Structure 1
Amino acid sequence: MEEEEKEVNSLAGIFDIRQFALNLLKLWWLFLLCIGIAFGYAYYKNQFIQTIYNASSLISIKDNSNPLFTSNTSLTFNWGGTTDKVTTAIVQFKSRTHAEQVVDELQYYTNYIKEGDYYNTDAYKQTPFFVYADTNKAQLYGRYFRIKVLDQERFELSTNFPNATAGGYHYGEKRSQSLKVPQGNWKQQFKFGDSIQLPFLNALIEKRGANIATGGEWLFNFGNYWGTVNRYKNIAIRPAPEGSSILLLSLSGGNKQRLIDYINTSSVILERGELERKNKFAVSTINYIDSSLVLQEKALQKSEQDLEDFKDKSQVLDALTQNSDFNKRLSEFEILERGIQNKLNYYDNLKSYLKNKTDYTVIQAPSVVGIEEGSISGAVSRLIALSEERKKREFAMRPDAPVFREIDRDINAIKEVIYENIKSSNSLLNRELNRLYAQINEVEAQIKKLPKEQQEFLRIQRQFDLDKNAYNVYMSRKAEAELIKAANVSDVYVIDEAKDTGGGGTRRDSNINYLIALLVGLAIPIALAFVLTILDNFVHTPKDIEKLSPIPVIGVVGKMNHPTNLIVKDKPKSTIAESFRGIRSSLHFIYNQESLYGSRTIMVTSSVSGEGKTFASINLASVFALSGKRTLLIGLDLRKPKIFDDFGVDNDLGVSNFLVNDCSLKDIVRPTGIEHLDIVLSGPVPPNPSELIMSKRAGEMIEQFKKDYDYIILDTPPLGLVADALEIAKYADATLYLVRQGYTKKGMLDVVNEKYKRGEIKNLSFVFNYFNDRGKYGYGYGYGYGYGYGAYGNGYHEDEKNAGVMIRIKKIIKGIIKPR
């Protein structure tokens, strides 16, 4: 239990909670000031709180395969599983490339501003006009244009140019450039719908609606392109529910319609991009067929013309009927030969392409040349899918990402499979081609037996049939590819598009700012009070003395405004006088009780000057004298004498004169005007006060005075500054050590504690001086030391009358701002 009390006392010595509370009370004005400033700032900030809107959309990512064809027989193929599609879609939505496409399409780098009292708001789709920037030319960057609607047809643009050049930005080429501008204020009128072609502005401004309100003014400018793109990259997107192929897209911002347009356009662009990638195989095939059809059509026209010309010049129509069997058989063989050659050429081209190219997304379908082998078609489809997947991931991942190494391994493995299939197919096709050559040679040998004119006719007829057949095959393949393209659907499907359903936005609770303001307003004074308490090294209450020293407190003397130190004489019924009477009574308990009679010597000292030694000495001597005791007050502070001022006498003769044998004891004793009280002044300041105090003559002086007086009060120098007081202490029966509230530092008590511990001073007690408790420390004068009636003695004392309210307020303010 004792250890716990010691620990509490130790903590109390480190941080005084009561002192902390009192510091808080003293800083009441700072509380009001800080809270007032904080609440004012909170009110100002609340004016800038904007409404935040949220827009969202639901889309589905599915594996929408073409229902008319399979991956082995058509121009479509499987792009990967649904899980991979969802992951890829999320990455695409948050990618820079995708954000660029949406920002470009919506021209979100154009900012529409409505001026407000406290802040400007985003007026996208709230203005009666829309600005369409010409992306092929540079625009003035960052500077606002003010647009004023004059009437239904005209508007006025104005701005200010501080210099002859200004910054511009080319949104098509994504680069900055310098523009020449007319220096100073610029203003010009235009018509809605007219193209504006200026060195610093190239745009079309159109009305939104048939009738618009006139006289309104708005601002618009062309802002930071990449800043806008990066802002929309932060679109929130997540599966809903978790793990499903349904994605929830959401955005928050200050303009609801801008959010809605971005989300919906973002979905459209992704849907369109997915369909374009899905149709890429068919589109490249159609393009290849179209280029082949051009050549084949020319060949067909030529062979048809050759046949007509030959018929006009020759009379071999009967021979045509007679030898049609030869021609039919040879045409069939040559069509087969051409088909085989096309396949061989496709394989050669495919092999060369795979070895020399890295982008495999534009390979033509094997079915274009009649290759129906499932292994070849499937391998090419997988190769294109992997290549497309690699391209999609390139804008979202680092080039050294592990996924690229895995995709490249799969691509190389499929290429090896294709090489093996090509080698095997070439071997089979070459054998079939050799067999066809033998059959063709056999029929040609029979044809050669016919007349030359018939042979020529059959050759022309056969060429015409071959060209016509090839043309029909290409047309058939093109129709198939276009049918597949038309039947393809995107893997992205919008379930719920973003829409303004009339719901309001959300505003951050303005009360939060006031709460924060209150906390900050309270925290600053509290922190200051805490710092002041930690740094406060002064003694403030008798309790502080009890914590810092084992020496007892014999009395507490309050604070009283009086022109002199003679308070006991002038106001004998005051609380101050009662305090000294209490000290007088308490001194009887600490004297040496060997004799009930004889003179008593009381030394009054302190740590430093200014703690009230002279004040205490004079008034203590006064209470002894007023009680009928012969009392002598001796000023032994030879360095800084003070007593003479209060009694209105000159300090021309005193202790210093006696100690140097310039006069007798009778010469230095002077009356005070108070019955039974005499004084001995310090006298002129000597050059060697310590030596004089230590002299034998000083002891003889005190011993002689003891014979003539009942009480001798010694006003000595500060114990903490000079050694004189220790020399005088051996003549004293009791020592009073003055501690002044808010003036004496706690560390000063260490000196007297050490001397008390070593026994250098006997019968030592503390007197707590200049104590002011009202509204500050909570101690009444009835503290328990037996020195009077205390705060409850109203009516028995002659204290000062209560001052007026204004005077008391002035005193409080003065006490706050006055340094210690």
Structure 2
Amino acid sequence: MEKEKLSILNDEFDLSLAILIIRKNLLFIVLSIFLGFCIAFFINRYTTPQYYSSSIVKISEKNDVNQMMNFENIYETNLVAELSRLKSKKMLSEALKTLNIDVNYYTKGKFLNTENYQSNPFSISYQLKKRKAVNYPLMINFKNGSAVISKMDVDSGSFIIPVNKWISINGLELKINISNRNLNDLNDSGKRFLVKIVDKSQLINNYSKGLSVNIENSRANTIKISYTGNHPKKCADIVNSLSSLFLISNISKKKESANQMIKFTNDQILKINQKLEYYQKLLQPYKDLQKDNQEIKTDYGKLALDLASKDQIEKTKLETTLIDFKNFYSSISNKISHEELYSVLLLNSKNQYISTTASRLRKLLSDKRSLSFRITEESYQVKEIDFQINLEIEDLLEVTKNIILDLQDNLQLINDRLESYRIAQKSQEVNFDHNTDYLHLERMYDINSEYYSRLLTKKAEYEMVKAGFVSDNEIIEPAKANLVPISPQKKSNYLIFIGSGLVIGLLIIVLKYLLHNTVSSTSDVSKHTNNIPILGMIPSYKDVIPVSQLIVDKNPKSLMSEAFRSIRSNMQFISNKEGSKIITVTSTISGEGKTFVAINLGGIIAFSEKKVIILDLDMRKPKTHIGFNVQNTIGMSTLLIGKSSLEECIQKSHLENLHFITAGPIPPNPAELIISNRMTDVIDELKKSYDIIVIDTPPVGIVTDAFPIISKVDYPVYIVRAHFSKKVFLKNIQMLRDKKKIKNLSVILNGAGGDIKYGGLKKYGYGYGYGYGYGYGYGYGYGGNHGYYEENPKKEKKTLKKIFVKK
């Protein structure tokens, strides 16, 4: 059978190993799940709840006149434009004004503050003298009929002020309004309140973050307005206020738009009417001649004079109007103050050409003047009005500029006509074609007359559409206070974090399984060694016993004793020669149970009425004397150097046929003593008196002292400890047989059935580490408490034992 290549990862699934790892780490999985539960609990408990409220608004209108007469629709709805208006800070500002939420009230809690929207037992009236006065929230509680106020985040001390009276505190005029009943309830109650006065500009920015406006259905012209905040009723009130304000504003905007169109039509009618009057005046002399049946060409001098006088009158009017508009344009283009601009507009208020734009600009200037008494120049509302004023000024300049150009063109036409009349009179020649002039004037009169008639028709149409307009706007679904928060989502958080804890626990188990590189069972030994026999398995001992103690005599019918009997029987199949036999017990490193197996194997063989002696050749770290609870003053080291005799070194155990020789004092040259001729002589001499010689050798993975002895014995036994010995240690076993030519090499799996590392059972160990570090160049050390029992066992609760230990 070919031995399998050792892999860094455990690439084969072993159900028993997986169950073993899960049992061992079950507590970790439970703790991981509990940690996830705790995280979810704290998030749910100490996160400020977020509430959601929404409303659906329908924008529509009915107009029976439009449907009957098929007139132009001047109230057409643009959803995208309406969406932009709804999202604007101006609209939100108007909505918030109706709610009076510039002062927020909270009940102070240990971890979270509870907002008292429209339910606070007192209210605050205030006036600002300094803007910085609202930068910090106020802490308020009541004692002895007075209010105790202190500023949070500022070490400014506390103030005791009377209630229902105005008081000045650090630039803040303050008045606490509270009823006597509420005052009595709060007196010395220990309740503390937080009051946050929000600046107007910050108020818009704060509330715009939670606002969301989207088109719900473009076909049905519906818009969804939603808000997310810390209080359910406040969210609903903000949405409902914005929805109502929007519907009112939408109707007024449409009516204003219709009025503007009618106003524009009236302005155009006025301008065209003036042109009609002008052309009518110029045509009148021609009509007078035709009425008297005179030919135009016979009296052209008088006719030219008459026409020139009329054009001269028109020229004078145009020049006066042009000068006025140039002065007006010069005034508003020089960036005058708003007060001066208002005066200029007031002086030109009767100017029919700019009356509409000027009236809008005057209204904005008036609004800014009224705001300046209440808020500062840096506020959001003032900046927005300034922006609108600048836009209106630009529009007014553009309109005025176009009017000036139009007047200049008209003036140039009149000058050209006057020049023609002058030349005609001076030359007394018919170089001025009066027929052509008449036809031109008549054509211009007809064009303007037709345009005038169309404008009158449109005006009548617009006024009829306006009269037939009926708004069909409505709030289809008003916002309601949703008492169930959208965040934190408690069930989802519990599922997510508990699931995450479970996944993390399982991932660690999978990682431990993949990185598991210790021998778990006899199948691992078989996989990674080539035809090396396994003598048997020694189970974990579940009682507390001293280090390397002889235990097979304590309960001869125990599972442990039966395991050693099985090993004793199996050894007969390896070598069945007559005479005294030598057994060596070794391992790769310390802690694998070498001394424990040697002592108990010797004990179980002694039960079969054979004389057994145990030799402790592990002279660097001897433990046999600890197992038999004797002194280590003399032993193999003194015997091999000739300091003690064999009879002096042999000691008897409480079993009749079991003797032992301890290692003796630690020598400086244990390897030389083991390979000496004296060692061979001692073995030969012991063979005469004993049936079985059991030798406890040093670990072959750390030192090479044991190789000469192992190669000469009848039963070389290699100890591998389950869930402790690395799989790579199995290479040493194969190497001993293939390269060192060790015959009859066999393996005993020690600690089968569970270990502290993966078994989920008690920790049974020898309690002593193997440390070859006595100044001889060896630096290997393996800590204690690896083995079958623990020296200082901890009491386990029966509940935990039932959960984590299988019976």
Give the TM-score normalised by structure 1: 0.60
Q: Could you say which residue in structure 2 is the equivalent of 1:56?
A: 55
Query: Is 1:495 aligned to residue 473 of structure 2?
Result: yes
Equivalent residues of 2:149, 2:161 under 8 A apart? yes
Secondary structure at the residue paired with 2:59? strand
Letter in 2 for 1:755: L
Letter in 2 for 1:93: L
Equivalent residues of 1:240, 1:246 under 8 A apart? yes
Q: Could you say which residue in structure 1 is the equivalent of 2:172?
A: 201
Q: Could you say which residue in structure 2 is the equivalent of 1:791?
A: none
Correspondence for 1:242 among 193, 218, 222:
218
Equivalent residues of 1:161, 1:186 under 8 A apart? no
* Residue 357 (structure 1) shift: 9.4
Relative to structure 1, is the Cα distance of residues 553 and 62 closer, same or farther in structure 2, using a 3 angstrom cutoff?
farther
**Whole-angstrom CA distance in 2 between matches of 1:252 and 1:346:** 56
Q: Could you say which residue in structure 2 is the equivalent of 1:514?
A: 494
**Whole-angstrom CA distance in 1 between matches of 2:396 and 2:744:** 104
Query: Is 1:233 aligned to residue 221 of structure 2?
Result: no
**Whole-angstrom CA distance in 2 between matches of 1:137 and 1:619:** 92
* Residue 342 (structure 1) shift: 5.0
Relative to structure 1, is the Cα distance of residues 17 and 434 closer, same or farther in structure 2, using a 3 angstrom cutoff?
farther
Equivalent residues of 2:325, 2:400 under 8 A apart? no
Letter in 1 for 2:663: S
* Residue 729 (structure 1) shift: 1.1
Query: Is 1:578 aligned to residue 562 of structure 2?
Result: yes
Correspondence for 2:710 among 704, 726, 729:
729
Relative to structure 1, is the Cα distance of residues 116 and 245 closer, same or farther in structure 2, using a 3 angstrom cutoff?
same
* Residue 613 (structure 1) shift: 1.9
Relative to structure 1, is the Cα distance of residues 216 and 284 closer, same or farther in structure 2, using a 3 angstrom cutoff?
farther
* Residue 746 (structure 1) shift: 4.2
**Whole-angstrom CA distance in 2 between matches of 1:357 and 1:227:** 30
* Residue 189 (structure 1) shift: 2.3
Correspondence for 1:642 among 614, 617, 623:
623
- CA deviations on 1:362-401 (whole Å, 9 max, x unpaired) are 999x998788xxxx99xx99xx9xxxxxxxxxx9xxxxxx
Equivalent residues of 2:10, 2:513 under 8 A apart? no
Correspondence for 1:109 among 102, 106, 125:
102
Letter in 2 for 1:52: Y
Query: Is 1:762 aligned to residue 740 of structure 2?
Result: no
Equivalent residues of 1:125, 1:257 under 8 A apart? no
Equivalent residues of 2:106, 2:194 under 8 A apart? yes
**Whole-angstrom CA distance in 1 between matches of 2:146 and 2:797:** 63
**Whole-angstrom CA distance in 2 between matches of 1:107 and 1:502:** 19
Letter in 2 for 1:507: P
Which structure 2 residues correspond to residues 134-533 of structure 1 after superposition, within 5 A? 134=127, 138=131, 139-144=133-138, 146=140, 158-161=148-151, 183-190=157-164, 200-202=171-173, 220-223=195-198, 225-234=200-209, 235-242=211-218, 246-253=222-229, 254=231, 255=234, 256-265=236-245, 336=314, 339-342=317-320, 344-345=322-323, 424-431=409-416, 495-497=473-475, 504-508=482-486, 510-523=490-503, 525-526=505-506, 529=509
Query: Is 1:631 aligned to residue 639 of structure 2?
Result: no
* Residue 601 (structure 1) shift: 2.1
* Residue 52 (structure 1) shift: 2.1
* Residue 31 (structure 1) shift: 5.2
* Residue 735 (structure 1) shift: 1.6
Please, which moves more after superposition, 564-573 or 261-270?
A: 261-270
Secondary structure at the residue paired with 1:93? helix
Relative to structure 1, is the Cα distance of residues 764 and 486 closer, same or farther in structure 2, using a 3 angstrom cutoff?
farther
**Whole-angstrom CA distance in 2 between matches of 1:541 and 1:213:** 78
* Residue 497 (structure 1) shift: 4.5
Q: Could you say which residue in structure 2 is the equivalent of 1:809?
A: 797
Letter in 2 for 1:236: S
**Whole-angstrom CA distance in 2 between matches of 1:541 and 1:357:** 96
Cα root mean square deviation, aligned:
6.1
Secondary structure at the residue paired with 1:111? strand
Letter in 2 for 1:693: I
Give the TM-score normalised by structure 2: 0.61
**Whole-angstrom CA distance in 1 between matches of 2:803 and 2:683:** 42
Equivalent residues of 1:239, 1:247 under 8 A apart? yes
- CA deviations on 1:568-622 (whole Å, 9 max, x unpaired) are 334322222211111112222233x7xx434332210112233322221122222
Query: Is 1:714 aligned to residue 695 of structure 2?
Result: yes
Please, which moves more after superposition, 538-547 or 6-15?
A: 6-15
- CA deviations on 1:381-434 (whole Å, 9 max, x unpaired) are 9xx9xxxxxxxxxx9xxxxxxxxxxxxxx9999999989866643322334677
- Count of residue correspondences: 631
Equivalent residues of 2:617, 2:695 under 8 A apart? yes
Letter in 2 for 1:160: S
Q: Could you say which residue in structure 2 is the equivalent of 1:568?
A: 552
Secondary structure at the residue paired with 1:714? strand
Equivalent residues of 2:585, 2:696 under 8 A apart? yes
**Whole-angstrom CA distance in 1 between matches of 2:732 and 2:226:** 74
Equivalent residues of 1:264, 1:498 under 8 A apart? no
Relative to structure 1, is the Cα distance of residues 747 and 411 closer, same or farther in structure 2, using a 3 angstrom cutoff?
farther
Q: Could you say which residue in structure 2 is the equivalent of 1:590?
A: 574
Relative to structure 1, is the Cα distance of residues 811 and 207 closer, same or farther in structure 2, using a 3 angstrom cutoff?
closer
Relative to structure 1, is the Cα distance of residues 433 and 330 closer, same or farther in structure 2, using a 3 angstrom cutoff?
closer
Consecutive unaligned residues of structure 2, counting only runs of 5 or more, are 67-71, 187-192, 267-306, 339-343, 362-379, 381-394, 425-458, 762-793
- CA deviations on 1:287-313 (whole Å, 9 max, x unpaired) are xxxxxxxxxxxxxxxxxxxxxxxxxxx
Equivalent residues of 2:96, 2:238 under 8 A apart? no
* Residue 716 (structure 1) shift: 0.8
Secondary structure at the residue paired with 2:619? coil
**Whole-angstrom CA distance in 2 between matches of 1:145 and 1:277:** 50
* Residue 251 (structure 1) shift: 2.0
Which structure 2 residues correspond to residues 637-716 of structure 1 after superposition, within 5 A? 637-647=618-628, 651-662=632-643, 668-669=649-650, 671-672=652-653, 674-706=655-687, 708-716=689-697
**Whole-angstrom CA distance in 1 between matches of 2:168 and 2:796:** 77
**Whole-angstrom CA distance in 2 between matches of 1:673 and 1:640:** 24
Correspondence for 2:595 among 614, 625, 634:
614
Letter in 2 for 1:247: I
Please, which moves more after superposition, 87-96 or 571-580?
A: 87-96
Percentage identity across paired residues of the two chains = 26
* Residue 690 (structure 1) shift: 0.7
Equivalent residues of 2:637, 2:673 under 8 A apart? yes
Letter in 2 for 1:248: K
